[in-house]
Amino acid sequence: MIEKSFVESFSKHPLGMIGLVGIVIIVTLGLFGPMVVTYPVGYNEAIPLASPTLKNWLGTDGLGLSLIDEIVWGARTSLFISLTAVAVATCIGVPLGLVSGYFRGRIGALIDSVIEIAMTIPTLPLMILISAISGPSVGTVAVVIGIFSWPTLARIVRNSTLKLASLPYIEAAVVLGIPKRTIMFKHILLNAVGPALVDLTIIMATAVLTEAGLSYLGLGDPNAWSWGGILQTAFRAGHHFHAWWLIVFPSLAIMFFVVSFNLLGLGINETLNPKRD
């Protein structure tokens, strides 16, 4: 009942639908693109820095490799990183948020201060330190981004839990003798999914921005194509003033990904909390 009306009202939210279409395009590109497009490797001396043509839509990079191939493989990297980050953030943030919201006493206060501390510390310099020491790898970057994305999620789950735990249906569940774990992870969590989902879309978007930023600073994986990595290579080689396509297309890919997920979040949020005038 709830699901049907949600889908119905979400489909009437134009910005949310634009985001959803964008995500379908990205997922299609990242899942099936690499089956069509060969992995760009080595170099092609014949056509370095060729500008976009009808035959080669997005031009070539300094090694003569086709930019469109690199961007398609980059979509897969972005999806992998953002999904891993979301998984890690969910595994840490959701249980902590539930526990701190449900057990309001000392445990709740303790977890809440941990959340606050984690939200205050500037995370990018810390991620840079960790990535620099552990060496560049897509997996490490993904996990590190996830580890630093949980505090907002935990806070959102905590706030929903605080609100839900005082509702009569939870009291009824307690009286019925349902174990606390079942109450938390079933009865409360299912109803806290909405706001958490909005934050997950934001984490997806932020993860890609962070990965691009880390790659731009030279901490990307040299063995994987990523949009930030393409930019870093172009800037480092000084191609950015005469080969505009090497800057514009990877940047557009990043923006497309980020805007799509943020629009989806906006759509979900406004569908769940319709504005009353």
Q: Would you tell me which residues interact with other proteins (CB under 8 A)? A: 15, 113, 116-117, 119-126, 128-130, 132-134, 202, 205, 209, 212-213, 216-219, 231, 235, 240-241, 247, 251, 254-255, 258-259, 262-263, 266, 270, 275
Return the CA Rg of the chain: 22
* 34 HSE (CA, 13 A, CB side): 15
Residue closer to other proteins by CB (options 18, 37) is 18
The nearest distance, CB 20 to other proteins, in angstroms, is 14
Closest CA to 10 of 157, 155, 201: 201
Whether 187 contacts 101, CB under 8 Å: no
The nearest distance, CB 242 to other proteins, in angstroms, is 12
Residue closer to other proteins by CB (options 161, 210) is 210
Q: Exposure of 9 by Cβ count < 10 A (0-12 exposed, 13-18 middle, 19+ buried)? A: middle
Q: Bridge-partner residues for 66, per DSSP?
A: 60
The nearest distance, CB 81 to other proteins, in angstroms, is 15
Sign of the alpha-carbon torsion through 201, 205, 211, 214: negative
Tokens of 70: 């690199």
The nearest distance, CB 33 to other proteins, in angstroms, is 21
Fill in the DSSP letter of residue 66.
B
Residue closer to other proteins by CB (options 83, 128) is 128
User: What are the start-end ranges of the H helices in the chain?
Assistant: 2-10, 14-36, 67-102, 106-120, 123-134, 138-147, 150-165, 168-175, 180-182, 189-216, 227-236, 245-272
The nearest distance, CB 202 to other proteins, in angstroms, is 8
The nearest distance, CB 22 to other proteins, in angstroms, is 11
Residue closer to other proteins by CB (options 178, 259) is 259
The nearest distance, CB 125 to other proteins, in angstroms, is 4
Q: Bridge-partner residues for 60, per DSSP?
A: 66
Residue closer to other proteins by CB (options 29, 266) is 266
The nearest distance, CB 176 to other proteins, in angstroms, is 33
* 203 HSE (CA, 13 A, CB side): 31
Residue closer to other proteins by CB (options 34, 108) is 108
Residue closer to other proteins by CB (options 90, 262) is 262
Residue closer to other proteins by CB (options 104, 180) is 104
Alpha carbons 10 and 23: distance in angstroms, whole number: 15
Closest CA to 127 of 73, 85, 92: 85
Give the list of residues 6+ apart from residue 125 with CB closer than 8 angstroms, or none.
Answer: none
